[in-house]
């Protein structure tokens, strides 16, 4: 086979190229620059003029292709002969593009009728294509389009609008023809949400014992988050929360009193913290693991009718000055989630201490948050170029959960919170059904539930909650529960998509919040009473 055969049939290169052809190809890739993964092929007869080029492993570019701008692909992507890819384009894993297709992530403006179009400025929104997408030949995708995971674009389609995950689209302009993944089909008018919720809840209750048994390590007498994982402190707490939600009792693996005694015994008497197995406890003001265990162990004990035997001493001795200094040290501008998590742990420690009659600087904590809330967003911190409003919204959830929500206090700017959350929920990077994870959806559901009394943009809040709720119901795996990340066909090996106790506990809780916002919570038949409880704990 001659070298030119690989240019037009590049899928043959991996299996049939000889040593000379491979050496020539690697030298050419080095001359191109960029980041080109293992097993890639780029035809020397393609016009590759990218400002940025990143090709994932086993991807190829055939002869006649014309590439400009910024192109980033995942693994196993194909750009076949005479395909045009221009502008800021991102392809996921396993995106296969037929010949003579044009992906055009820029456009001419034509605002001034007295100036020739080619002299007017260009605009660019970018094009994003998800995982496991088949794009047929002679397809045209215009700037600003986002193509969902597991979709198919039929030959000749002119794609001017976003393509839903799992859809097969075709025509000019492209429209949905059918569903490659029926489970991702949006609900039709008349679909009964309350019935869907009740059906899910019944199935979850029937399978709850199996979900827990799957993660029980009988040899160690401890729960693991996922089978084959090592036991963790949080896994014991998640099991208790799941059993309380779905069964109305403690997990059957051990008597409730024994489970409570074990959790109590893990508290370090010196600091009042619960370290991870094999770790040394540190101050809650600085230790992330110990900080979250203040939440998870404290509320698990509460569900079991018990409490920490000792106060959280790391916080009992904190003065107002120490709290303010800790707040000022947090990375609000760059990592608002981490800052919010710190506040959550601190606020919850103050809550448990108050139950023991130990006063703390709660007023200092709340006062600082009230004074520092941004009147434009209602939150603390700033958006980031890399992930938009994600850190800001997720940090707000954690900070408000451990303070305003836990103590039954109104947040300072509820309407701005709603505005910010609704704007964030339009970010397809995080809220397409196949891109969702428990943290990101929970961190939208809880702020909207917390501010629901304002009545602000209520119809939009209900519509969003309904959409996210329907999505969430599809993420359950029979006999195993929820993975932290929504299951996707191309990420079955990703640990985050494997069902486990953490994902199950979080999705069950956020499903209740969404169902309440959508007006169908009674159909669930459960209400969280632990870490993610909707009502104040104080």
**Which amino acids are annotated catalytic?**
108
Are the C-beta atoms of residues 424 and 391 closer than 8 Å to each other? no
Alpha-carbon distance 103 to 72, whole Å?
13
Alpha-carbon distance 228 to 123, whole Å?
50
Alpha-carbon distance 210 to 241, whole Å?
15
Tokens 């992330």 belong to which residue?
288
Alpha-carbon distance 98 to 397, whole Å?
44
Alpha-carbon distance 23 to 40, whole Å?
12
Q: Which of 172, 450, 477 is nearest to 442 (CA)?
A: 450
Are the C-beta atoms of residues 426 and 460 closer than 8 Å to each other? no
Task: Provide CB contacts within 8 A for 358, sequence distance 6+.
Answer: 311, 316
Q: What is the largest CA-CA distance in the chain?
A: 83
Q: In the Cβ-directed half-sphere of 216, how many Cα atoms lie within 13 Å?
A: 14
Tokens 């540190």 belong to which residue?
282
Alpha-carbon distance 157 to 144, whole Å?
16
Burial class (CB in 10 A: 0-12, 13-18, 19+), 371: exposed
Are the C-beta atoms of residues 361 and 324 closer than 8 Å to each other? no
- In sequence order, what are the beta bridge partners of 178? 168
Alpha-carbon distance 73 to 464, whole Å?
31
Report the Cα–Cα distance between both ends of the chain, in Å, rounded: 76
Alpha-carbon distance 235 to 259, whole Å?
12
Element (H, E) at 70: strand 66-72
Are the C-beta atoms of residues 476 and 200 closer than 8 Å to each other? yes
Tokens 């994003």 belong to which residue?
128
Alpha-carbon distance 147 to 162, whole Å?
6
Q: Which of 218, 130, 214 is nearest to 167 (CA)?
A: 130
């Amino acid at each position: 086979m001659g070298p030119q055969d690989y240019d037009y049939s590049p899928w043959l290169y991996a299996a049939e190229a000889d040593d000379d052809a491979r050496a020539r190809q690697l030298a050419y890739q080095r001359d191109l620059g960029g980041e080109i993964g293992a097993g890639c092929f780029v035809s020397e007869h393609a016009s590759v003029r990218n400002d940025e080029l990143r090709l994932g492993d086993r991807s190829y570019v055939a002869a006649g292709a014309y590439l400009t701008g910024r192109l980033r692909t995942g693994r196993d992507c194909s750009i076949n002969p005479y395909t045009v890819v221009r502008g800021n384009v991102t392809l996921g894993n396993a995106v296969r593009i037929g010949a003579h297709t044009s992906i055009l992530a820029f456009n001419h403006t034509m605002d001034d009728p007295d100036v020739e179009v080619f002299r007017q400025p260009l605009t660019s929104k970018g094009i994003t294509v998800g995982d496991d997408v088949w794009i047929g030949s002679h397809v045209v995708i215009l700037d600003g389009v986002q193509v969902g995971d597991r979709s198919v674009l039929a030959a000749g389609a002119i794609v001017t609008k976003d393509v839903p995950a799992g859809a097969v689209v075709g025509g000019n302009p492209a429209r949905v023809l059918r569903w490659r993944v029926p489970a991702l089909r949006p609900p039709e008018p008349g679909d009964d949400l309350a019935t869907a919720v009740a059906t899910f809840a019944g199935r979850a209750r029937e399978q709850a014992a199996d979900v827990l048994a799957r993660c029980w390590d009988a040899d160690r007498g401890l729960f693991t988050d996922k089978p084959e994982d090592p036991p963790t402190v949080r896994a014991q707490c998640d099991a208790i929360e799941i059993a309380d939600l779905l069964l109305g009792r403690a997990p059957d693996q051990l008597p409730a009193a024994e489970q409570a005694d074990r959790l109590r015994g893990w508290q370090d008497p010196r600091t009042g913290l619960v370290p991870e197995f094999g770790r040394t406890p540190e101050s809650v003001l600085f230790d992330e693991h110990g900080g979250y265990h203040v939440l998870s162990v404290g509320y698990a004990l509460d569900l079991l009718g018990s409490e920490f035997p000792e106060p959280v001493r790391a916080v009992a001795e904190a003065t107002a000055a120490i709290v303010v200094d800790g707040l000022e040290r947090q990375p609000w501008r760059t990592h608002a989630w981490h800052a919010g998590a710190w506040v959550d742990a601190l606020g919850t420690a103050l809550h448990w201490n108050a139950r023991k009659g130990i006063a703390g600087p709660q007023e200092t904590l709340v006062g600082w948050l009230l004074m520092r809330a941004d009147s434009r967003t209602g939150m603390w911190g700033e958006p980031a170029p890399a992930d938009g409003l994600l850190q800001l919204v997720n940090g707000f959830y954690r900070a408000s959960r451990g303070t305003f929500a836990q103590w039954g206090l109104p947040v300072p700017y509820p309407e701005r919170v709603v505005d910010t959350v609704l704007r964030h929920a339009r970010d397809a990077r995080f809220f397409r059904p196949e891109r969702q994870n428990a943290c990101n959806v929970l961190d939208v559901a809880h702020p909207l539930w917390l501010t629901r009394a304002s009545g602000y943009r209520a119809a939009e809040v209900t519509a969003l909650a309904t959409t996210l709720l329907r999505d969430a119901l599809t993420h359950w795996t029979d006999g195993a529960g929820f993975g932290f990340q929504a299951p996707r066909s191309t990420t079955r090996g990703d640990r985050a998509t494997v069902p486990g106790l953490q994902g199950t506990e979080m999705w069950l809780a956020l499903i209740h919040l969404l169902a309440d916002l959508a007006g169908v919570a009674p159909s669930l038949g459960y209400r969280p009473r632990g870490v993610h409880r909707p009502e104040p704990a104080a």
